[in-house]
């Protein structure tokens, strides 16, 4: 059952980042679980080790504020190594935005920085044919709106990943990695329109003269709000079968 699950949210955010606590709350609400079921781990200050697989039922990865998966710094490299091991184990994972880029890069995909194709605001997403039979994406309409906030883009998925969604500016928007319960999205299913508006205002200095244009294109993204809860239900069903 969903209420029996525990999640480890890997956060890549500076101690001064005003979004840290809000990000945890967003995942809690979209998973539809109690706050105590989601535990944040600061990747910049804490270690990533095998005990995570024993203590939690799933790993979550969110955004990153000022960091990029292309940053050549030890914490990012340790995270990439950990995500590579996590996917190899087929350990249940849902990653968004930075997490999608990190999982793709960790498994041999390609990520580039391209501010000209940045997606910040609410954007149209289309499903691929493979999404129709997917356990969590199969419930989405063929086209839907999603919250975005990125300038880095996955330009090649790793071998074995199933491409599930795309957008005009950034063609790789979602994938399932391997045969385990490992999904990731470039968009933010943990965010509502209001959540994204607050996040944009928190980072207003980063957007400068662009902030009005970003706020103007924000729209509701109701179709994405159930993705994480469906992930939790699929995970709960799988956990029940294992224990049974």
Establish if 80 belongs to a structural domain.
Answer: yes
Establish if 139 belongs to a structural domain.
Answer: no
pLDDT at residue 217, as a whole number:
96
Pairing between β-strand 119-127 and β-strand 58-61 as defined by DSSP bridges: unpaired
Q: How many Cα atoms sit within 13 Å of 4 on the Cβ side?
A: 10
Establish if 176 belongs to a structural domain.
Answer: yes
Q: Give this prediction's pTM.
A: 0.95
Establish if 60 belongs to a structural domain.
Answer: yes
pLDDT (tens digit per residue) in 141-193: 999 999 999 999 999 999 999 999 999 999 999 999 999 999 999 999 999 99
pLDDT at residue 173, as a whole number:
98
pLDDT at residue 151, as a whole number:
93
Establish if 157 belongs to a structural domain.
Answer: yes
Which H helix or E strand runs over 169?
none
Establish if 216 belongs to a structural domain.
Answer: no
Check which CATH number belongs to the domain holding 98 and give it: 3.40.50.880
CB atoms within 10 A of CB 88: 14
Q: Please state, for a pLDDT cut of 90, what percent of the chain lies above it.
A: 87
Give me 105's structure tokens: 């890069």
Establish if 209 belongs to a structural domain.
Answer: no
Q: Is residue 219 pLDDT above 70, yes or no?
A: yes
Q: Which residue has the higher pLDDT, 9 or 18?
A: 9
Establish if 88 belongs to a structural domain.
Answer: yes
Alpha-carbon torsion angle 79, 71, 121, 10, nearest 10: 20
Main-chain phi, psi angles of 41, to 5 degrees: -125, 125
Domain total in the chain = 1
pLDDT at residue 32, as a whole number:
98
Q: Identify the domain containing residue 181 by its residue range.
A: 2-115+152-190+225-243
């Amino acid at each position: 059952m969903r209420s029996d699950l525990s999640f480890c949210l890997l956060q890549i955010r500076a101690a001064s980042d005003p979004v840290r606590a809000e990000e945890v709350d967003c995942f809690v609400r979209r998973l539809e679980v109690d706050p105590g079921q989601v535990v944040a781990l600061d990747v910049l200050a804490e270690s990533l080790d095998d005990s995570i697989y024993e203590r939690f039922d799933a790993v979550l990865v969110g955004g990153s504020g000022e960091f990029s998966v292309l940053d050549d710094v030890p914490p990012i490299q340790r995270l990439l190594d950990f995500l590579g091991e996590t996917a190899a184990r087929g350990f249940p994972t849902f990653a968004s935005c930075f997490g999608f880029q990190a999982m793709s890069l960790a498994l041999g995909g390609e990520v580039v920085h391209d501010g000209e194709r940045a997606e910040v605001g609410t954007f149209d997403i289309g499903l691929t044919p493979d999404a129709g039979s997917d356990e969590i994406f199969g419930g989405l309409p063929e086209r839907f709106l999603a919250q975005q906030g990125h300038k880095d883009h996955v330009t090649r998925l790793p071998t074995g990943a199933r491409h599930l969604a795309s957008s005009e500016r950034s063609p790789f928007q979602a994938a399932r990695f391997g045969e385990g319960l490992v999904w990731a999205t470039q968009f933010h299913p943990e965010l509502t329109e209001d959540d994204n508006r607050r996040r944009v205002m928190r980072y207003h200095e980063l957007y400068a003269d662009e902030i009005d244009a970003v706020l103007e294109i924000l729209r509701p993204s109701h179709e994405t709000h159930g993705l994480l809860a469906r992930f939790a239900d699929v995970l709960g069903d799988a956990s029940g079968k294992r224990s049974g």
